[in-house]
């Protein structure tokens, strides 16, 4: 499978530049997660690739050829269906692409099997629950058998249990696409569980890209580290990024003074939440740690840090 | 009397068709496009939905009367003038109902249809299909409004017995003559005509219901 290349991508809205990507290559046959905070331009980037943003200077290509509708399948952030049956909704894209009737039925049955929606095929698509709707959206993309699949936060807005179940299944569903897949998410965990490659987008610009594990474990820029869930703290010598869960109570080689905001115990997991120079920090508690009260000033240390710019 | 019924159906039917031709695309554009003055335009359309027919008739009369700017066309006191007046009454109704029904669809639907491979014409057809219940309401409301109006038809048509008399103006005439039974019969005909047209449209609408 061939690479997806973007060049000269600039999108402005109401006079503000929301996306500025001079060049970006996404490797063919792999799953790339576009990770970034809300408003960082992730969805806009996906829309550019799909041809839904039409600035004339931009160029998006697959293996050197412009992206055509038949090349892609798109799962939107929210469920969008015709007020018809699930089967009719799955069939629509196949009809529009000129797929013969027998082939359409075969593809729908195959996709329904992969995504486990066989029992929903005759239901009204616009009356499905959130989880069912997500599955049908994924099935609709699956049965198109497109070489490029765009997933815009496919797990957004789901309750915790449904989110967890679908997240467990998503790597298998993505593998079934057998395509170059681009996943937009603001969840580090989703990105790392599903993606081979990672692109971190901050304020409309690509700030990091590469193999997912490599980018996640070696953030070089503070903004990237924050997106990846690190706590970024300034020390007299340099700015450091502390990985999630790497803070401990008590003194150490790299220690900080923290003001306690609250101590929590949710489902047996205790942590103390406080601030270091205005930065919110979460420190897991162990059985031996003393009880902390709001307003206390305590010393904490980081067990691992990375220097960032 | 049958010629009056036929004329009523022709004038109001033609005006409704013209209003659909203009009002449906206009309603779609208002619902979907972002442009300066959109809210003002929508407010004007909504105001137009309740515009008194007699005022529309008066404006059309001023335009078409022999001494008016379009007097040379010789349209005043003809069925064409009545179609024009009824078209102006019906168009805001069709536009307003169309805009509301298109706005009730998911704003992402055109994007979905585009990425699935629908061209522009196919996208519009599929959107119209999705909004069909609301669009049929627009047609019924527009036809109902103009087939029952009397003021505009009376002013621009002149209620001429052999050429511009329709059911509503005939009812006025018969009542003023003291022919109450005849007026009631015409009223029953108007209701029957209106019912038949709406029954047909309702059958189409309910068959189209998903």
Full set of structural domains in chain A with CATH: 4-217 (3.40.50.300), 230-308 (2.40.50.140)
Asked if B115 has any chain A CB less than 8 Å from its own CB, the reply is yes
Highest mean pLDDT: which of A149-153, A155-159, A238-242? A149-153
**A115 vs B2, which has greater pLDDT?**
A115
User: What does the buried/exposed string (b/e) look like for B177-208 if buried means 16 or more CB atoms within 10 Å of the residue's CB?
Assistant: eeeeebbeebbebbeebbeebbeebeeebeee
- What class does CATH assign to B2-208? mainly alpha
| Residue A196, φ and ψ in degrees, nearest 5 | -85, -40
Token duo for residue A86: 């699930």
For residue A171, is pLDDT > 90? yes
Q: Torsion angle of alpha carbons B74, B77, B80, B85, nearest 10°?
A: 120
Sorted by where each begins, the domain ranges of chain B are 2-208
Task: Quote the minimal CA–CA distance from A69 to chain B in Å.
Answer: 6
- Give me the pLDDT at residue A263, please: 81
Q: What is the pLDDT of residues B182-201, one digit of tens each?
A: 999 999 999 999 899 889 88
Three-class HEC string of A253-277 = CCEEEEEEEEEEEECCEEEEEEEEC
Residue A114 pLDDT > 80:
yes
Across A6-10, A106-110, A210-214, B30-34, the highest mean pLDDT is recorded for A106-110
Residue A73 predicted with pLDDT over 80: yes
Q: Which residue has the higher pLDDT, A87 or A217?
A: A87
| Residue A90, pLDDT above cutoff 80 | yes
Say if the Cβ atoms of A84 and B210 lie within 8 Å: yes
Chain A residues with CB inside 8 Å of B110's CB? Answer: none
Radius of gyration, CA atoms only, chain B: 19
pLDDT surpasses 90 at B112: yes
* Chain B contact probe: residue of A14, A69, A80, A133 with most B CBs at under 10 A: A80
Question: In chain B, what residues touch A96 (CB-CB under 8 Å)?
Answer: 113, 116-118, 122
Rounded to the nearest angstrom, the minimum Cα separation between B30 and chain A is 20
Question: Does A78 contact B117 at a Cβ distance shorter than 8 Å?
Answer: no
Cα angle A191, A194, A195; round to 5? 70
- Say what the pLDDT of residue A205 is: 93
The pLDDT confidence band at residue B208, using thresholds 50, 70 and 90, is: low
Q: Which of B108, B117, B118 sits opposite A76 (nearest CB)?
A: B108
Closest chain B CA to residue A77: B108
Give the A window 75-114 contacts with B, CB below 8 Å: 76, 78, 80, 82-84, 92-93, 96-97
Distance CA(B116)–CA(A12), nearest Å, equals: 26
Rounded Cα distance, A226 and A10, in Å: 24
What is the reported pTM? 0.80
**pLDDT tier for residue A180 given thresholds of 50, 70 and 90:** very high
B118, B122, B130 member nearest A83 (Cβ) = B130
A28 pLDDT above the threshold of 80: yes
* Contact present, A85 and A161 (Cβ < 8 Å): no
Q: CA of A62: how far to CAs of A28, A39, A194, A209, in Å?
A: 9, 26, 22, 19
Please judge whether A80 and B112 are an interchain contact, meaning their C-beta atoms are less than 8 angstroms apart.
yes
Summary mean pLDDT of chain A: 88
Question: Would you state the pLDDT for residue A238?
Answer: 83
Cβ contact (<8 Å) for B111 and A80?
yes
Residue with the bigger pLDDT between A63 and A282: it is A282
Q: Which of A51, A83, A144 sits opposite B210 (nearest CB)?
A: A83
Residue of chain B minimizing CA distance to A97: B117
Residues 65-84 of B with CB under 8 A from A: none
């Amino acid at each position: 499978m061939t690479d997806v290349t973007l060049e000269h991508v600039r999108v402005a809205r109401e006079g503000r530049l929301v996306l500025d990507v001079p060049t970006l290559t996404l490797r063919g046959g792999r799953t790339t997660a576009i990770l970034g905070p809300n408003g960082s331009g992730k969805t806009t980037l996906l829309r550019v690739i799909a041809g839904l943003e039409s600035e004339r200077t931009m160029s998006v290509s697959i293996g050197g050829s412009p992206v055509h509708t038949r090349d892609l399948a798109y799962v939107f952030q929210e469920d969008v269906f015709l007020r018809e049956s699930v089967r009719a909704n799955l069939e629509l894209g196949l009809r529009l692409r000129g797929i013969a009737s027998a082939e359409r039925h075969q593809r729908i049955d195959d996709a329904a099997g992969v995504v486990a929606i066989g029992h929903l095929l005759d239901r009204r698509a616009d009356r499905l629950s959130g989880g069912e709707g997500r599955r049908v959206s994924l099935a609709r993309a699956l049965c198109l058998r497109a070489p490029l699949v765009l997933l815009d936060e496919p797990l957004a807005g789901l309750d915790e249990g449904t989110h967890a179940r679908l997240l467990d299944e998503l790597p298998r569903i993505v593998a079934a696409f057998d395509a170059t897949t681009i996943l937009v998410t603001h969840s580090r965990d989703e990105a790392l569980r599903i993606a081979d490659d990672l692109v971190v987008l901050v304020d409309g610009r690509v700030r990091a890209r590469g193999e997912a594990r490599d980018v996640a474990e070696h953030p070089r820029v503070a903004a990237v580290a924050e997106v990846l869930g690190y706590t970024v703290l300034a020390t007299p010598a340099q700015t450091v990024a502390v990985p999630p869960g790497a803070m401990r109570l008590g003194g150490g080689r790299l220690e900080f003074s923290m003001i306690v905001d609250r101590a929590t115990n949710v489902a047996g997991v205790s942590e103390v939440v406080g601030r270091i120079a205005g930065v919110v920090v979460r420190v897991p508690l162990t059985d031996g740690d003393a009880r902390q009260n709001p307003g206390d000033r305590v010393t904490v240390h980081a067990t691992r840090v990375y220097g960032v710019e | 009397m049958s010629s009056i019924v036929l004329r009523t159906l022709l004038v109001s039917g033609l005006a409704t068709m013209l209003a659909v031709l203009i009002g449906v695309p206009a309603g779609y554009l208002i619902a979907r496009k972002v442009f300066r003055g959109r809210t003002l335009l929508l407010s004007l359309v909504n105001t137009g939905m309740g515009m008194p027919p007699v005022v529309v008739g008066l404006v059309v009369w001023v335009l078409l009367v022999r001494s008016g700017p379009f007097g040379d066309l010789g349209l005043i006191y003809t069925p064409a003038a009545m179609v024009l007046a009824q078209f102006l009454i019906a168009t805001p109704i069709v536009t307003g109902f169309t805009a509301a029904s298109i706005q009730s669809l998911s704003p992402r639907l055109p994007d979905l249809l585009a990425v699935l491979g629908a061209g522009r014409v196919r996208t519009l057809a599929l959107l119209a299909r999705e909004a069909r219940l609301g669009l049929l309401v627009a047609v019924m409301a527009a036809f109902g409004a103009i087939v029952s109006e009397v003021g505009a038809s009376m002013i621009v048509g002149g209620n001429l017995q052999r050429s511009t008399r329709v059911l509503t103006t005939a009812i006025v005439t018969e009542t003023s003559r003291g022919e109450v039974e005849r007026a009631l019969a015409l009223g029953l005909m108007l209701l029957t005509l209106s019912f038949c047209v709406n029954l047909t449209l309702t059958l189409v609408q309910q068959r189209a219901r998903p």
